[in-house]
Structure 1
Amino acid sequence: MERYSIPTYQTEPLDRSRREIRLLHLHPRTTDHITATLSVADLESAAETYSCVSYVWGNPNETVAIEVDGHEMQITLNLFDFLHHIRDPNDILILWVDAICINQNDLEEKSHQVAMMGDIYFGCSVVHAWLGTPSSEMVLEINPFATFEHIADGKHWHDLPGVLEEGDDEGAPSDVFVDQMAAFHLIADSAWWTRSWTVQEIILPTSGILWYGSHSMTWDRFALVFERANAAYVHCCAQGTEATKHWGPKMDKFNRFMSSIAIIDKLRRYRQQTIEQVVDVLSSNEQPPSFHNILLSFSGRQCKDPRDKIFSVLGLAPARMFDAYTPNYQQPLTDCFTDVYRRMLEYDNDTSRVLLGRGFGPYNKGLPSWARDLSKQHDGQDWEETRARLSGLYDCSAGSSNTVTVKDGRELHTKARKADTIRVVGKPHRLQKSGVASQIIAMLQSYELASETLTYTEEAHLNKAFMRTICATITQDVEDSAQWRRCEDDDLPSPESWLSLLTGEGYTLPYTFTSAMLLATENRCLFITEAGNLGMCYPVTKPGDEVWALLGMNVPFVLRKASKGHQLESAYHLMGDCFLLDQMDGEIMQSGEETKSIVLV
């Protein structure tokens, strides 16, 4: 018999013409040996009668035997640990566990059940998220959730046990603080946070519990930690913690970890809002997260099969986007990714929510240039999301509308108008992880490129054009809760401060300008066009590429003529969106160029 299999799968198969699932009935804890039975149930009828389990499979070679329907079945050690901990002394627990409730050796059944996975988790009474258990030699003297419980209670950072104390060795942290942080890392470093499938598994259920060994914390209380640990709260505790050098780095780790939790909780709260709450959100001009952004936000998570980068979050997609769609583990990977991009484009015909950002081009083998390789991790997604959201500040195509169509599965047909041809491309700006000095050097290198390439009658004109380019003509309004808006000349650095920067005599620029500069230039390059215009593009851009306004889009795009051997004369590769100075508000549509039908391949 195949591994992870039992005769029940053959004697009681699921009816794939119906929405049937198997449920695991975990018997009470009478001995160390785990026993259970399986039953077949209609998904809708079974709603709220079962609990789901979210966990990491772990090493497939480390297995333990349990008894299911009177037969031995091998499961991974991590799942065994959870079942061992969760068993009730007296009552049967009804669970849905993918490794047992799905015949993992039957790809057709697996595809059938994966298509229902979102509804399975949405219909459960609670999800148990299993973060792990201490090794046999490890004794937990501190609750691993203690730091999170402390903050959730509204207590101060500097009141954490041992945070202001010194250890026996001069300059060393106290033993209490070391233990406190070791407990924190058991939660923050759990592999559960790195897996693709656990995203929708915690977002969709109405109730969730996080477990580490016998310790637990509800998701709602866990998510409350981020609200209590916001910038204002941290600031109020800054003076209390400045007496020790030990907490600073840990606070940074804590904040980064909780920021990643906030993304999940935002999606979770949005999914669980009432109709009235959704209307309130939409009326406030805050768009719900697009499925494309969800895919990219969790692209760094891991899964055994790259297709699961998509299948693992299907439950978070709009209902109609994947009508009549069944996950197919035998479908070629490139066909799978292309099909998903086609569905996203055709769902709401909003190309601005799908085609913005990095990762496009003819470099993804087997994929059209308008479909990203979703198996790759896309760093800097927070920058891309913000830029995509702020693209609404521009109106490159002058309010025009457009209907894109995908033909032959790979050709994206649209209408566009050419703006210019790129002459020179500078070096990419990678400022996010750089210090101030590196940021200034990168800026000066781009400025030198512009000054050497362009001819301006007055240096002041060049300075102004350059500053407007590297901030993409946006700024943060300090008088309006730091909201982003288009900038005016008065928002730019003064000539004196800019001159002091160029001469090396000063390094201070307004925060409202530097924040916009970081957003506009991160992982982008300065480019100069044949007509002498400045812009910012992605590093894949080359001289000779063209800037176009795609009808219906708020920002222009860099396109590259497809090879001469391509049968379509109007065929182009999509290289990514861009910023083109003084061409972001309909100017391209007012030029003498004609609107053309083009094909992105």
Structure 2
Amino acid sequence: MSTLQHESFGAAERQIKLLEIILLGDKPRYSLVQGSVEDDEYFALSYTWGDHKNRRMVQVDDRNLSITANLSRALDDVAAFCRSSEPGRTSILIWVDQLCINQRDDEEKSEQVSIAGDIFSSAQQVLIWLPLHRDIKYGFKDWTSWHDWHDQQITSPHSTSLPSGRIAMSYTAISQPRQDYPVVSEGDAVVKNQLLAWENIHSIVTSPWWERAWGYVEFLLSQNIIFLFGGLWASSDELKVLLELYERRRETHLKFCTLTLSMLKHQEQQGGQTSKFCGCFGGGDDAPPKDPNVANDQKQYLRRHSQHLSDLTPYWSRVSNHFDSRAEHHSMDDTATTPLSTLMKQARNYRVTETRDRVYAFLNLANRKCDIRIDYSLPTKTVLIDTARAMIQNEKRLDILAIACQDRSNGSKTGQTPSWVPTWSTKEDPDSPYRQFLRQIQFPMARYSYGGGGPGTRASQSSAPVVFFFPNGIMQARALFVDRLNLMVAEDASKLFRTFVTDSGRKVSTVRAAEAGDEIWIFLGADEVFTLHREGDFYVILGHAMVRETGGETSDVLLGSMMDQLLYPLMRLWAT
């Protein structure tokens, strides 16, 4: 193992750079050394980069390097953790992407990202640093005392014990700081402690790390995890148990808050004296406060708190998904694989700095036969085309066409990707405009992802796609011509679709971008029916088409009635 300069890198397979943190002295010192995934015991850091413009200088060997402020804070917490957990230790080795990969070298970055999964799965310990925006440690000594107090607030409602040190009461989990909850009695202290405990948990749950695509993948692949947050550290299992405890009580807590607010509203309407509501939290006296302003402040605080409980539902779902997915991943057989299309449907819900990372991160969880080369010198458009092609070739389905339609409806134009290529930019949302469009045209939900009930559509039955790929994003595919839009008969400005009569007299409801002359086609290997617009010798896919016969009944072409035709025209698709 040798010291090396930041710009140099050993090209041997599975070699990595490691940051050595020297713990001797008052402040940690740093050095970059050559290492190996197989041969070295090292930590790995999972964190969020934060604001790229908010930077700090760190000295590594004899050089000053610029890193984000988030990483600077994370390294300080890593050093504190190591000094506390192993007092006699003089140094550690840790893999940190910002310093262990030359971010300006696309070749090195591509090589290292291609083994990122192995780096995290082989690490002695993965440290996950959560960038909390509030000091939740307060005067607590360590995780044990912090955990016990938070456990007590939810399991022992009458507790009035206070953490040692100061208590700051401001709600910063998802918005600006809030006014302190007023305390004028012992009962108020009970309520305040319990609200404080909830807000501390919420600050963990709403940490931006849970939204990070790479963080999700690193979490699943890691064997041994320690969370670092606010000067505390806990194992993944310890944190999971506490979060699950609060998640189980969340609905009950929300009901209490809602019930209390209803009670106070009723009292106000009756013109009676407003009572205090600490009794709803299990303790304290219910005598009304002497100062009416205190009662009003408490009520307003609880109203905000209750609203935040509802707003945070998606955050809790994301955290639960992390832990559930990790358990499922570690229980899988070594030979088990997950289709890349399934993984990319998950990836679309996570944040990335750039679109290519959404693909490259989740490749670490995919079937290695995907044959997608990680290469940061490639344009995003090329990466997306290669990914779509690999899915079609490996999974022998064209269901991703439906996802591509949804992405295009969201205004996604990543390098003007072809219309058959998903950009994976639209989060899974049952109320997204495209989902609303599908509901408005009463489209039978297909099997692939929308989760609709009933048999769904199966326009091409079990037929496999017949496709050929050409440069510039051109795909050639076998498809059945169904009909041509002739005359638009309905357009409502409040709706997301247009309705046409076709050449054969059918009624077709489809996207607002459709025009008379556009055509309805069925692709072999796709469940749905699509509207296509012709541009010269090529076609652009516009969106789903709901086909009804002349009597108004759903056309059985959606269920594969045209598959008995033996001759299929060959068509080409291209997006400008």
| Structure 2 length-normalised TM | 0.69
Q: 1:387 aligns with which of 450, 472, 476?
A: 450
| Separation of aligned partners in 2, 1:545 and 1:393 | 24
| Separation of aligned partners in 2, 1:238 and 1:351 | 44
Coordinate RMSD, CA, aligned: 4.3
Q: CA deviation at 1:53?
A: 0.5
Q: Aligned letter for 2:407?
A: G
Q: Output aligned runs, 1:432-511, within 5 Å.
A: none
Q: CA deviation at 1:157?
A: 9.0
| Separation of aligned partners in 2, 1:253 and 1:113 | 38
Q: Label 1:150 to 1:63 Cα distance change in 2 as closer, same or farther (>3 A).
A: same
| Separation of aligned partners in 1, 2:107 and 2:231 | 37
Q: Label 1:549 to 1:134 Cα distance change in 2 as closer, same or farther (>3 A).
A: closer
Counterpart secondary structure, 1:387 = coil
Could you say which residue in structure 2 is the equivalent of 1:75? Answer: 67
Q: CA deviation at 1:222?
A: 4.4
Q: 2:227 aligns with which of 182, 186, 210?
A: 210
Q: CA deviation at 1:398?
A: 2.9
Q: 2:9 aligns with which of 10, 14, 22?
A: 14
* Preserved contact between residue 24 and residue 38 of structure 1 (Cα < 8 Å): yes
| Separation of aligned partners in 1, 2:237 and 2:76 | 25
Q: Label 1:275 to 1:316 Cα distance change in 2 as closer, same or farther (>3 A).
A: closer
* Preserved contact between residue 345 and residue 354 of structure 1 (Cα < 8 Å): no
Could you say which residue in structure 2 is the equivalent of 1:273? Answer: 331
Q: CA deviation at 1:321?
A: 1.0
Counterpart secondary structure, 1:351 = coil
| Separation of aligned partners in 2, 1:76 and 1:24 | 16
| Separation of aligned partners in 2, 1:296 and 1:55 | 19
Q: Label 1:392 to 1:58 Cα distance change in 2 as closer, same or farther (>3 A).
A: same
Q: Label 1:427 to 1:262 Cα distance change in 2 as closer, same or farther (>3 A).
A: farther
Could you say which residue in structure 2 is the equivalent of 1:42? Answer: 36
* Preserved contact between residue 417 and residue 595 of structure 1 (Cα < 8 Å): yes
- Check if 1:251 corresponds to 2:243: no
| Separation of aligned partners in 1, 2:490 and 2:227 | 48
Q: Label 1:152 to 1:555 Cα distance change in 2 as closer, same or farther (>3 A).
A: farther
* Preserved contact between residue 158 and residue 241 of structure 1 (Cα < 8 Å): no
- Check if 1:198 corresponds to 2:215: yes
| Separation of aligned partners in 2, 1:599 and 1:206 | 47
Q: Label 1:177 to 1:226 Cα distance change in 2 as closer, same or farther (>3 A).
A: closer
* Preserved contact between residue 65 and residue 75 of structure 1 (Cα < 8 Å): yes
| Separation of aligned partners in 1, 2:202 and 2:464 | 51
Identity of aligned residues (%): 19
| Separation of aligned partners in 1, 2:33 and 2:382 | 36
Q: 2:528 aligns with which of 555, 558, 561?
A: 555
| Separation of aligned partners in 1, 2:511 and 2:111 | 40
Q: Aligned letter for 1:327?
A: D
| Separation of aligned partners in 2, 1:79 and 1:348 | 40
Q: Label 1:177 to 1:404 Cα distance change in 2 as closer, same or farther (>3 A).
A: same
Could you say which residue in structure 2 is the equivalent of 1:369? Answer: 419
Could you say which residue in structure 2 is the equivalent of 1:58? Answer: 50
| Structure 1 length-normalised TM | 0.66
Could you say which residue in structure 1 is the equivalent of 2:479? Answer: 416
* Preserved contact between residue 292 and residue 344 of structure 1 (Cα < 8 Å): no
Q: 2:138 aligns with which of 137, 140, 165?
A: 140
Could you say which residue in structure 1 is the equivalent of 2:443? Answer: none
Structure 1: tracts of 5 or more residues without a match: 1-5, 430-441, 447-523
Q: Label 1:155 to 1:254 Cα distance change in 2 as closer, same or farther (>3 A).
A: farther
| Separation of aligned partners in 2, 1:150 and 1:550 | 59
Could you say which residue in structure 2 is the equivalent of 1:405? Answer: 468
Q: Aligned letter for 1:203?
A: L
Counterpart secondary structure, 1:345 = helix
| Separation of aligned partners in 1, 2:460 and 2:71 | 54
Q: 1:337 aligns with which of 384, 394, 400?
A: 384
- Check if 1:574 corresponds to 2:541: yes
Q: CA deviation at 1:317?
A: 2.9
Counterpart secondary structure, 2:407 = coil
Q: Aligned letter for 1:574?
A: I
- Check if 1:84 corresponds to 2:76: yes
Q: Label 1:217 to 1:419 Cα distance change in 2 as closer, same or farther (>3 A).
A: farther
Q: Output aligned runs, 1:237-248, within 5 Å.
A: 240-245=256-261, 246=302, 247-248=305-306
| Separation of aligned partners in 1, 2:491 and 2:11 | 55
Structure 2: tracts of 5 or more residues without a match: 161-168, 170-179, 262-301, 436-447, 548-553
Counterpart secondary structure, 1:307 = helix
| Separation of aligned partners in 2, 1:553 and 1:154 | 54
Q: CA deviation at 1:265?
A: 3.6
Q: Label 1:390 to 1:178 Cα distance change in 2 as closer, same or farther (>3 A).
A: same
| Separation of aligned partners in 2, 1:428 and 1:582 | 23
* Preserved contact between residue 57 and residue 66 of structure 2 (Cα < 8 Å): yes
* Preserved contact between residue 142 and residue 183 of structure 1 (Cα < 8 Å): no
Could you say which residue in structure 2 is the equivalent of 1:451? Answer: none
Could you say which residue in structure 1 is the equivalent of 2:118? Answer: 119
Could you say which residue in structure 2 is the equivalent of 1:599? Answer: 572
Q: CA deviation at 1:257?
A: 0.7
| Separation of aligned partners in 2, 1:381 and 1:16 | 47
Could you say which residue in structure 2 is the equivalent of 1:3? Answer: none
Q: Label 1:168 to 1:149 Cα distance change in 2 as closer, same or farther (>3 A).
A: closer
Q: CA deviation at 1:315?
A: 1.6
Q: CA deviation at 1:307?
A: 2.9
Counterpart secondary structure, 1:559 = strand
* Preserved contact between residue 129 and residue 210 of structure 1 (Cα < 8 Å): yes
| Separation of aligned partners in 2, 1:114 and 1:256 | 29
Q: Aligned letter for 2:381?
A: T
| Separation of aligned partners in 1, 2:61 and 2:246 | 48
* Preserved contact between residue 144 and residue 187 of structure 1 (Cα < 8 Å): no
Counterpart secondary structure, 2:327 = helix
Matched residue count:
475
| Separation of aligned partners in 2, 1:543 and 1:157 | 65
Q: Deviations over 1:462-491 (max 9, x none)?
A: xxxxxxxxxxxxxxxxxxxxxxxxxxxxxx
Q: Which has the higher contact order (CA 8 A, sep 6+)?
A: 1
307-316 vs 358-367, greater mean Cα deviation: 358-367
Q: Label 1:229 to 1:59 Cα distance change in 2 as closer, same or farther (>3 A).
A: closer
Q: CA deviation at 1:293?
A: 1.0
| Separation of aligned partners in 2, 1:41 and 1:115 | 16
| Separation of aligned partners in 2, 1:260 and 1:160 | 31
| Separation of aligned partners in 2, 1:67 and 1:349 | 52
Counterpart secondary structure, 2:49 = coil
Could you say which residue in structure 2 is the equivalent of 1:313? Answer: 362
- Check if 1:546 corresponds to 2:519: yes
| Separation of aligned partners in 2, 1:338 and 1:428 | 35
- Check if 1:326 corresponds to 2:374: yes
- Check if 1:587 corresponds to 2:531: no
| Separation of aligned partners in 2, 1:234 and 1:38 | 46
